[in-house]
Structure formats: structure tokens, C-alpha cells
Amino acid sequence: MNNFLAHTDEIRQTMLGEIGLSSIDELFSLISKEVRSDIKLTSGISELKAQKELKKLSKKNEIDFVSFLGGGVYNRFIPSAIGEITRRFEFNTAYTPYQPEISQGTLQMIYEFQTMICELTGMDVSNASVYDGATACAEAVAMAVKIKKKSKILVSDALNPDYKKVVETYCHDAGTVIEYAKVVDGKTLLDGDLSEYAAVLLQIPNYYGVIENIEELEGRKGTALLIACVDPMSLSVLKTPCSYGVDIAVGDFQQLGLAMSCGGPHGGFMAAKSAYARQLPGRIVGMTVDKEGKRAFTLTLQAREQHIRREKATSNICTNNSLMALSATVYMSLLGFEGMKEVELLSVQRAHQLAEDLEKIDGLGILYKDFLNEFVLNTNGMSERILSHLKRSGILGGIRLDENNILVAVTEMVEPESLELYVSKVKELF
């Protein structure tokens, strides 16, 4: 089975002969016997067999649920047109656009992505994307530490726990100290002067789905930068981070047309005030001209990056999740502002409908107000029982936070009948 290889044995011999060698082994003359390995050479299989095998594996996953799972990854509607574009190999198999003359497609797309992220967040500049929301938070913290030359940061305790763990790893290695800000009634407390911190990192809406007290953020005291990890879908209806004094806005854009795919690949965005453009990590695309003055796009500010600056670079990151950014750009182009608002309002309305109906059940409560499409259901010690009971009816009822609480997310994918089923099934337990 010689899948995907170009040569026959005859051709190999011809080529070896032409360069004065007689065997393949001679090509590896610099690798001494002591270093040679002897692995078991199993054979490959045909595509026919591979497809059967992969299909079998994929069917060992249970996906036929009505899902209320969220917590950073959401089951959103993905328009058919997105896959048709991202499967085009002109986008899919190209490398990072180092040669602008033959990469204008990718480069212009990223410029458009950056523009849309700036438009949604209200920020001045955006990079070309990073791995995901969690690493975007970690990179933003590193950026703030460098800007402020302070090695302490304040992180909201209501930040997504996975994001916290990633930020902790990055901070540990960089020698940055993290303090957590208390959460009261679902909202983060920011008291007093924050000048001792390089930055404050908040999530809006936070892990519990709650919109923080954004009206108080602009008037916060002290010099700490404000980093907000925001949900791009929510920005079709919520105020922009820029309008309440955010310095660096980051987030995950899985919801903009990307498959859940068991947690990745997704994408993270980073946008900032223009004063910090040169401290942004990652790729950035700029508009310029070609030698005849025609509009052109190219990677820019590369002097920040590892391949030039080595250990003095703003980050080690090379990736921008281009293909994911492409999905998001096509998504936002297809839906436009109105379409995004429609999706969000549909989800919010259904989430509030569900919350209202659940709250009517004696013994259940909705823990915090000020939420959009994700909320905490207080179950009085019944989390486990509720979730397993719902699962028997084909419903994944949410993420179990603890024995008392479940995090419930509602998107446009959940039909009103499923909301009714959710409520009626829960009622059976009370």
C-alpha cells in the first residue's frame, strides 16, 4: 500500500543513480547505527477501509441529544455556505501568507476579519486570531504585564474555569502572580484602587452567564488595564467593550460558524486600543499598495514576532487560526448585524422562557439575573438526579457545577417543544 507517495521503486533507483548513490540507506549515512531505531512496520490500508473505520469510530459517539451544554462551546447553527468556502483548498492547504503576491485571498480575508472584530468590540485594532479564547486571555495578560511592567494581575473568579487554568499555567511560567476577585451574587467585586495590578481580567457575560456590572467599570480606580473576555454573539445586542473602558478585548469565536468538534479547533480573537497595537501578539494584516500603487495586503509589524525577534518577541505564537477566522468572517458576512441579532434574540428569548418556567417549579431557582442565553439553575441538591433523568429523555440538561447548581445554555438550535419537555421532565422529580 503506497498511499500518497509519488515514486515507484524503478524511479527511486533512477534518481539514486543520477546522484551517484545505489541505495536508499546511503541517504542516511550521517545517522549512526547506535541511533537507528527498529519499529514494527505495520502496513497501511486503502481509503475504502479507512472510511469504514473512521465512520465506525464516529458512530461510537452519542450526538443525538437535545443539548443545553455551553460553558464556552455552543451548539449553534452553521450555514451550509461556510463549509463550501472553507473546504476550498486555495484557503485550506495554503501556508501562512508570507508571500503576499500569491496570498492576497487569505490576507484580505484576515483584514476583513480584523475589521469585523473591531466593529463588534468597538476596539481600534485586532490581530489575525489566536488558538482559542483561553489562550487569548493568557496572551492578553502577558501583554498587560509587559505594558505595565507589573507582575501581578487580578482575575475574576467568575472566569471560565478552563480559561483560569490556562491563564494560571502561562502566568506561573512567566512569574506573574494571580489574585482572584471575589464574586458576589454572580458579579465580580472590584473594590478600591487597582493600581497594584498590571491588569484586571473579567469575562462578560461571565461563566455563569451573568453580565458584569459594566456601568461601574469605566469609573474603576487605578492604573490597571482592563481586559474583557467577551462573547462575540452577545455583542450584537450588548454594549461594546470599548464603550465601558476596556483596553484589551479578547474572546473565543467558536460560535461564529465553527463546529463544536469536541473542543477544537476553535479560534480566539484579540483586539485593543490603538496605543497597544505594537504590543499585540500574533499575526496582523495591514493594507498597503503594490509597486504600481494598487491596493494590496500583507502581514505587518512582523518585527514583533519570533522569527525576527527571537527571545525578544511579544510571544512565541506563529499560528493565526486562519481557516477558523475564515469561517467566522463568512458567518458574519452571511448573517450581517441583523442576522446575528436575530440568532441572539432567539436564544435569549428561549433561555428566559425556560428559566421562567423552571423557576415556577417549587424547589428550583434561577441563581442570578442579568443573563442572556445561559443561566445557573439552582436545584437544591438535585443536580445529579435532574441531569440523569433528563438524559433518559434524550436531553443533555447542562453542565453540573456542583450538587446544587446546573449551568444551562440555550441556543437557536433548541426548539420550543424541547423547552417544554425539559420543564415537564424536571417537574416529574418535584
Using CB under 8 A as the binding rule, the residues of this chain from 170 to 199 that contact other proteins are 170, 172-175
Q: Choose between 93 and 362: whose C-beta lies nearer to other proteins.
A: 93
Q: Choose between 239 and 427: whose C-beta lies nearer to other proteins.
A: 239
Q: How far is the CB of 111 from other proteins (least distance, A)?
A: 7
Asked whether position 402 contacts other proteins by CB under 8 A, the answer is: no
Q: Which of 76, 187, 283, 425 binds other proteins (CB under 8 A)?
A: 283
Asked whether position 276 contacts other proteins by CB under 8 A, the answer is: no
Strand 374-378 and strand 395-396: the pairing is unpaired
Question: H or E element: which one contains 387?
Answer: helix 383-392
Q: How far is the CB of 275 from other proteins (least distance, A)?
A: 12
Per residue in 111-139, is it b (16+ CB within 10 Å) or e — as a string?
bbbbebbbebbbbebbbbbbbbbbbbbbb
Q: How far is the CB of 151 from other proteins (least distance, A)?
A: 11
Q: Choose between 271 and 426: whose C-beta lies nearer to other proteins.
A: 271
Asked whether position 412 contacts other proteins by CB under 8 A, the answer is: yes
**DSSP letter at 182?**
P
Using CB under 8 A as the binding rule, the residues of this chain from 37 to 76 that contact other proteins are 37, 39-47, 50-51, 53-63, 67, 69, 71-73, 75
Q: Which of 22, 93, 149, 417 binds other proteins (CB under 8 A)?
A: 93
Asked whether position 411 contacts other proteins by CB under 8 A, the answer is: no
Asked whether position 7 contacts other proteins by CB under 8 A, the answer is: yes
What is the spatial distance between Cα 241 and Cα 211, in angstroms, rounded to a whole number?
12
Q: Choose between 345 and 427: whose C-beta lies nearer to other proteins.
A: 345
Q: Which residues contact 103 (CB under 8 A, 6 or more apart)?
A: 94, 97
Residue 317 and residue 142 in contact, taking contact as beta carbons nearer than 8 Å? no
Count Cβ atoms below 10 Å from residue 158 Cβ, excluding itself.
25
**190: nearest Cα among 245, 122, 146:** 245
Using CB under 8 A as the binding rule, the residues of this chain from 108 to 167 that contact other proteins are 108-109, 111-112, 114-116, 118-120, 124-126, 128-129, 131-135, 142, 160, 162-163, 165-166
> Which three cell numbers, joined as nine digits, stand for 346?
432567539
Asked whether position 219 contacts other proteins by CB under 8 A, the answer is: no
Q: Choose between 114 and 156: whose C-beta lies nearer to other proteins.
A: 114
Residue carrying C-alpha cell 475564515: 326
Q: How many residues contact other proteins, by CB under 8 A?
A: 195
Asked whether position 14 contacts other proteins by CB under 8 A, the answer is: yes
Q: Choose between 37 and 428: whose C-beta lies nearer to other proteins.
A: 37
Count Cβ atoms below 10 Å from residue 85 Cβ, excluding itself.
19
What is the spatial distance between Cα 427 and Cα 430, in angstroms, rounded to a whole number?
5
Asked whether position 279 contacts other proteins by CB under 8 A, the answer is: no
Strand 199-204 and strand 152-156: the pairing is parallel
